[in-house]
Structure 1
Amino acid sequence: MSLRNILVISGGGFQGLGLIKALRAVTGTRILVGDCYAENVARYFSDAFFLLPLIKEEQAFLNFVLDLCERESVNAIFASTDYELELLARHRDTFAAQNVTVYVSNIPLLELANDKLLFYRWLLREGLPCLPCYTTHQDTNAAFPLIGKPRHGWGSRGLHILADRETTSAISIEENEDLVWQPCLKDFDEYSIDFSINVMGNISPLAFRRRIRSLGGFAILCEPYAPENIQSIARLTIEHLIPLGARGPMNLQILRAYDDTCWVSDLNPRAGTSMPLSLAIGLNPLAFLLTDGAVDSNFSNHSSVQGSRARTLRYLEERSIPDLQLNEVRGIVFDLDDTLLDQKAWMISKLELTWHEERAVLPERAVFLSMALQIIEEGNRAYLFDALCLQLGLDDTIRLRLIETYRKARPEDIPLYSDVPSTLYQLRKLGYRIAILSDNPPVSQRQKLDVCGLLPLIDTLVLTAELGTQKPDPHAFIECTRLLELPPDQIVMVGDNLFRDMRGSFDAGYRHSFHVQRAGAFFNFNPNLALRVSSVMLTCTTITNLNELFWHLTGVATP
C-alpha cells in the first residue's frame, strides 16, 4: 500500500488548515505539517508535526527541511504563506534531486504576484482587463474617488479611500510609496477563482465563487457561480500566467461592475484561505496536482449547486481535547468493519460482481442493487439473500447459488476510509504495536484484508470465529494482548460498536477505548445515552476520524 507523504510548510495557522482539509480528501495521503510555532491549531489535524527553524535562518531552515524530506520520504511540498514561497522556488532543483516536487511558482511569477503595481502593469501590457493604476494619489490623470492598496499586501488590510483631491494630504509620502492607486468602485461583485497548475503546465478545473460576505479579508459566505465573461477572463489570464512559471495551487480575483464590465484585481500565488469553500462544492485543486490530473475521480459534477440559490459558507468549530494520560500505552487494537473498512461499500461491490455473474436470473442492475441496499440499510444484512429472493420470487436453489457467487466475488477496489493508511503508517512509525480484532466469517475477513493490503501495516490478526467466540467476550481481547506481548493496561481499543468493542475491551482491562463514529456506517450510537446506562463510556472517547488518535497518542517513549 503506497502513501503520498505531503509536507505543508508554515502550516500551523488557518492557511495551513485549508491545505490540510484539501489533502485529507485525497485518499492515500499522509500529511506532515512543519511550523516554527510548537503549539498551533493545524498540528491537531495532521498526521505528524515538526518544529521548523525560522525561515529567516535560511540555511538552517533549508537543511532541516531537506533532512526531513529524506527521513519521512516526502513526495511533495506545499507552502501555506507568502513567507516561504521565494525560498522554496529558489531551491526547487535541490528538492527535485531528492524526488520531492515543490508546488510553488517560479520567481518571475512570484515577483509579479507579490507586487500589485507590477501585476497591474503586466495585465495592461498583456491586454487583459485591469483598472487604471497610479503610483501616486496626486497623479493628474487619477479619477476620484481612489482606493489605495498596499503593493505587497493582501485582503482588506491597509486600504485607503480618498473621496476627492482635497483629501490627498491625509496620506504621507512614506505611506504613498507603498501604495498603488486605482479608481474606487462603488457597486461591484467580487469573484474568487481557485485553481492549480501542475508541473506540466496543465490547468485544473476552475472553482468560481461570488463573494457575498467577507470578514477581515476572509470570505465566509459565497455563491458558487460566475457568469460566462468572468469565466472567459479567468481562463485567459491563467493561460498568460503559465509562461511565467505559474505552478501549484493559486487564487485569482476578478471584479465585475453592474454594467457587466470586468477587471482582474488580485493574484495569490498559493492556495487561498477560503479554498475550503471550493471543496464544499466538490472541487479540489490539490487532488488535480497529486493525481496527475485524474479529475474524473477527484472532482464531482458541481453544476447542480451553481447559481443564485446555492451558498457556500465557512464557520468556526470548537473542540475540547481532554488529557487522557495515555503515555504508557504501547499497543492499539482496531476493529475492522466500519472502523477501517467501509462495510457497506464492500458489500455493494460484491453485489455488483454477483449481479454480473447471475444477471440472467436477476432484474436489471439498478433495480437489484437498490433492493439490496434497502435491505442492508434497514438492518437485515444477515438475511440479505433470503429477503432478496423472497421479494424476487426466486427459489432456494437460486438463493444458495447467489450466496456462493457472492462469497467468491472479489472486488478490486479498496473501500478503506481515507484516513486509515496514513494513520496506521504513522502509529507504527511512532512505535505502537497494532492488532486487528474482528467478528464475521474468517474467509470473508481475510478476503477483505487481502484486497485492502492492510496486513503489512499490522502486527497481528485475531478473528473471533477462529477462537470459537465473538466480541464482547473478553477472551478475544485477551488473545490480542497475548499476541502483542503487552499487558492489557498498555493497550487501547478503537472500534465502532459501543457494546461489542468498548464493552469487551473494558472487561479485558484495556487502558482506554476510542469509539469512531463514521458517517453512513451501520451503527449510529448515542454516546450520551450509553453513558447513562453503562460505566464503559467513562473509559471511552468518541472520535470522528482516526486522525484524532494523534491528539492522545504521541508516541512510544524509548527506554
Structure 2
Amino acid sequence: MQPKPYPMPVTTVLFDLDDTLFDHANTARAALATSTAGLPEFAGTDLETLYQQYSEILEEMHPRVMAGEYTHEEGRRLRFQRLLAPYGATRTDAALADFVQQHYSHYQRLRHPIAGAVPLLEALKPHYKIGILTNNRLAEQQEKLQHLGMTHLVDALITSEEVGVLKPNPRIFQESLARLHSRPDETVMVGDNWHADVVGALEVGIRPIWLNRTASLRPLAHVEEITSFEPLTEVLLTITGELLPAEKLS
C-alpha cells in the first residue's frame, strides 16, 4: 500500500474514547453477564437482547445526564430501573441499589482497550500530537485512561463536561484544535460514532476516519473507514498518509 497524498501533512490525531479506544460495548456485555449470572429472573434471557436494551437506554439517558437534567448517580439508577423492570428484578430500592453497585464494580474491573489501540497510540505518539475528544465527564475519562494505560500517550483530553456541549457541536472540536495548537487541515479525527465523530469533524474541516467495527453501511462514500486497529502499518498509513520508520513500530 502506497502513502496517500494529503493536501497538508498530518500533525494531530484526535480520537473518541468510548468504543473507539476503550471497548465499552464488550465490557458492558461482560458486566451484564456477570451481574445477572445465577439470578432466577434472568434464566433463559438472551444476553445480547439485554445488552441492546441497555445500550438503547444509555443512548437516551446519557445526553440528559450531561445536560444536568440528572446527576450521574441518578442517571445510572434510572437506567437500571428501566432495564430491569420488565424482568421483575430488584423490586425494592435497596435491591436496585445493590444490583447497580455490583454491576458497576464488574464493569470497572472488566474494562479493556479496543484491540490494537495501545500499540497505535504508542506508534503515533513520537511523531504526532494526540487528543481525546469525548462526550463524557472529565474525572471519569481521566481515570479510564489511567486504567487503560493510555494517560502518557495523550497530549490533551477534551470532554463535553468542560466545554459545555456535546459532539458534533463545532465548539468542542474547535476547543480541541486550540488546546493542541493545530489547524483543521492538518488534523484527523478517528471515531466510531458517525454523527458525533464523523459529521462533527466534517463540519469544522477536519478529515474524519470512521472506525466501523460492526460492518455498518457507510453514509458517505468519500469518508475513509477502518474496521479495526490491526494490522498496525495499514492503519497508520490510513490515518497519517505516510509510512513510519520500521524501527518505530517494533
Among residues 206, 227, 248, which one is paired with 1:544 in the alignment? 227
CA deviations on 1:281-327 (whole Å, 9 max, x unpaired) are: xxxxxxxxxxxxxxxxxxxxxxxxxxxxxxxxxxxxxxxx7835165
1:418 aligned residue: 115
Identity %: 24
Query: Would you say the 8 A contact 1:334–1:495 is kept in 2?
Result: yes
Work out which structure has the larger RCO, using CA pairs closer than 8 Å and 6 or more positions apart in sequence.
2
1:473 aligned residue: 169
Are the structure 2 counterparts of residues 376 and 385 from structure 1 closer, same or farther at C-alpha, using a change threshold of 3 Å? farther
Structure whose alpha-carbon radius of gyration is higher: 1
SS state of the match for residue 436, structure 1? strand
Deviation at 1:543, TM superposition (A): 1.4
SS state of the match for residue 387, structure 1? helix
Counting only pairs closer than 5 Å after superposition, residues 131-142 of structure 1 correspond to structure 2 as none
1:454 aligned residue: 150
Amino acid at match of 2:212: Q
Among residues 105, 125, 142, which one is paired with 1:428 in the alignment? 125
Among residues 6, 11, 23, which one is paired with 1:342 in the alignment? 23
Query: Would you say the 8 A contact 2:3–2:243 is kept in 1?
Result: no
Are the structure 2 counterparts of residues 337 and 507 from structure 1 closer, same or farther at C-alpha, using a change threshold of 3 Å? same
1:134 aligned residue: none
Counting only pairs closer than 5 Å after superposition, residues 79-90 of structure 1 correspond to structure 2 as none
Q: Say whether 1:506 aligns with 2:192.
A: no
Deviation at 1:367, TM superposition (A): 3.8
Query: Whole-Å Cα distance in 2 between the matches of residues 324 and 399 of structure 1?
Result: 56
Query: Whole-Å Cα distance in 2 between the matches of residues 422 and 542 of structure 1?
Result: 19
Q: Whose helix proportion is higher, 1 or 2?
A: 2
Unaligned runs of 5+ in 1: 1-43, 45-320, 532-536
Deviation at 1:392, TM superposition (A): 2.5
Counting only pairs closer than 5 Å after superposition, residues 479-518 of structure 1 correspond to structure 2 as 479-510=175-206, 512-518=207-213
Deviation at 1:332, TM superposition (A): 0.4
Query: Would you say the 8 A contact 2:33–2:47 is kept in 1?
Result: no
Are the structure 2 counterparts of residues 545 and 393 from structure 1 closer, same or farther at C-alpha, using a change threshold of 3 Å? closer
Paired positions, count: 217
SS state of the match for residue 325, structure 1? coil
1:374 aligned residue: 49
SS state of the match for residue 380, structure 1? helix
Query: Whole-Å Cα distance in 2 between the matches of residues 449 and 352 of structure 1?
Result: 24
Query: Whole-Å Cα distance in 2 between the matches of residues 445 and 348 of structure 1?
Result: 20
Amino acid at match of 1:544: T
Deviation at 1:353, TM superposition (A): 5.9
Amino acid at match of 2:224: T
Structural RMSD (CA): 3.0
Counting only pairs closer than 5 Å after superposition, residues 264-283 of structure 1 correspond to structure 2 as none
Among residues 202, 207, 216, which one is paired with 1:525 in the alignment? 216
SS state of the match for residue 40, structure 2? coil
Amino acid at match of 1:504: G
Unaligned runs of 5+ in 2: 59-78, 245-250
CA deviations on 1:231-255 (whole Å, 9 max, x unpaired) are: xxxxxxxxxxxxxxxxxxxxxxxxx
Amino acid at match of 1:422: P
Q: TM-score, normalised by structure 1?
A: 0.35
Query: Would you say the 8 A contact 2:32–2:103 is kept in 1?
Result: yes
Amino acid at match of 2:237: W
Query: Whole-Å Cα distance in 1 between the matches of residues 137 and 82 of structure 2?
Result: 18
CA deviations on 1:484-528 (whole Å, 9 max, x unpaired) are: 111222111001112110111111221x11011114xxxx5311x
Are the structure 2 counterparts of residues 333 and 389 from structure 1 closer, same or farther at C-alpha, using a change threshold of 3 Å? same
CA deviations on 1:91-120 (whole Å, 9 max, x unpaired) are: xxxxxxxxxxxxxxxxxxxxxxxxxxxxxx
